[in-house]
Structure 1
């Protein structure tokens, strides 16, 4: 016997007695699940966050297509800073509040929205998944939030409107060198019943999206030796592309080339506030200006008739080292918040981010990448899953902050931490 054996805790009489478990005790612990045979539902069952959807999307989509969604301009500094601003924000919860029932709804552009959330416009959406804009619009309709169709969409605006008649439809517009084509788009959007027009103003030229350059991405994707090899890794994506309608733009004639070449060929770099005045006269409904990056420009576009603005650096896809929208938000709201609605995008990945944006004064936040990750992961059900994740996170954050509703969110609930 060693000295250690004399320690009280190691004496034989004090050791744990072991026995064989009874079957009745083991049975409640056995929780085997029935195997899920539906591949989409099986994939989505493992997606608990937007980052999980991103991981699935990356596995299921050719690299060039995934990088088009996931990447930003040049060194991707703007994109990283936008995300970091949300990460650095600090919440200030209150306790002993009744949060059994939580009302997540709000009003955006004088209409109802189940969350302070708007689906942002994204180009070439059928490139990510053949279900494209129709799937996104239907998911938005079910969730009760607005959806913004892009000028660079790949489904006719009338088809999208008809596919989701109960949705709140907005149309995003770029002003082209061919103004007659722009006028035609405005007329079609009005005739189809789109309730708001969103003018994007931060694209006088295309940003240098280096992932696209290195991947050799063209619109539509072309079958090069590299992409042909990728068919072996992503056969489902290529089968969908090759067996559905060709990937074409719904609002312009067929084009083949890079995104930067397309912007250079089609978009007008001479656009000024005079064009905004013209558009205000042409469009009788709500007018939103997207791409505002300074207090001065916010004031300017409101004075020229904007009903709402979107603080945005285009998802970090245009000017690198651009202002960070979340950091700019309080100053812009203080300047123009009593005269227009202020929305925000870039860097929004969680339901908590929606609370953060609202706390700093935004009417709502816009997301693009999150729903595209869902679309790439599992088509329309993947977009539904995106919305469910954001809704659950939003509700949970409200409760943990001690807030019973979206209307109760104020600046006292959050602050930007100084670096």
Structure 2
């Protein structure tokens, strides 16, 4: 000690020599140079660092954060409304865990797919498809067990019952899938799972095989399809009105039903005739019919006379050239006659239907104007009803005020009558 404190000067055996610190010499075993270079810790890994190098029992395994994160990245845990308490009862709700399908791309990145079947938002179509796959797998497992084991008669009966249950379950799933729109949905592919009897031969260890077919839906967007659909609806309307049952053209095998508009016109004329029927009208109609019948007879006689006259003139001044031309024309007409006869039952109703369609389209062109006129009339009727309602309310208020006034007058008159009775009693 260079300087000694006075407080400790009187103590015995006190060393006043200066302090000396000694260090051992550097050797090959005890070097200050580190054995390994210092390594900077990256962001994606942890090291178990310990200053004591003699503790060989400590594990220094590195932990890669990115790899651990990628392992749990597709997991999805739903903890909404979950009870994490220590209560043991049947009402506790546990969390739901689901995972998404993933695959490693060429560049090393992960591509996440849709959620698995355990997802809570699974659609009805996917659920039915999953149940169908499970039923098919159960059928194949049942077939393998039945082929592998030799059973007694009672056990065989029990297995037949199990197979019937599987068939019943498959039928129920098919019935559920029909109204759900799996087969008729537009733009959706149809998936048919082949049964175990028709599936190809595969090794026993492989899973079930499925056959996927695509059936695109046909949209009737063509003009002819639209016209046929319109004609079908028109025919349905005619059948609903009972017109096709009473049409005369259907008496033939190739006849078409009559059009709706000419039939409606005919019915309207008949109804108007029956509504306006009277003795004078019937007499006038009878006279008109007799006149038409006589004129028809005269016309027939005139045709017969003209025909006879043409025959006489033809015999007298007919040349060979004219005869050959007429014969060729007649032969041509006879050749066309079978086609005309085949089209005879179809042409009149077809023309009627075309006229009906033309009239309907003409009315459809003015449908907007008709709708506007109807809307205007409805608005006018609404205004009139509103005015009538206001007038009725005013009348009801006036009647209520009149009732109150009459009741007040009655009370006043009662007071006057009582006063008059009292005076009369005093005078008597």
Considering only CA atoms, is the larger Rg found in Structure 1 or Structure 2? 2
TM-score between both structures, scaled by the size of structure 1: 0.17
Q: Which structure has the highest strand share of the two?
A: 1
Q: Which structure has the highest helix share of the two?
A: 2
Higher relative contact order (CA 8 A, sep 6+): 1
TM-score between both structures, scaled by the size of structure 2: 0.17
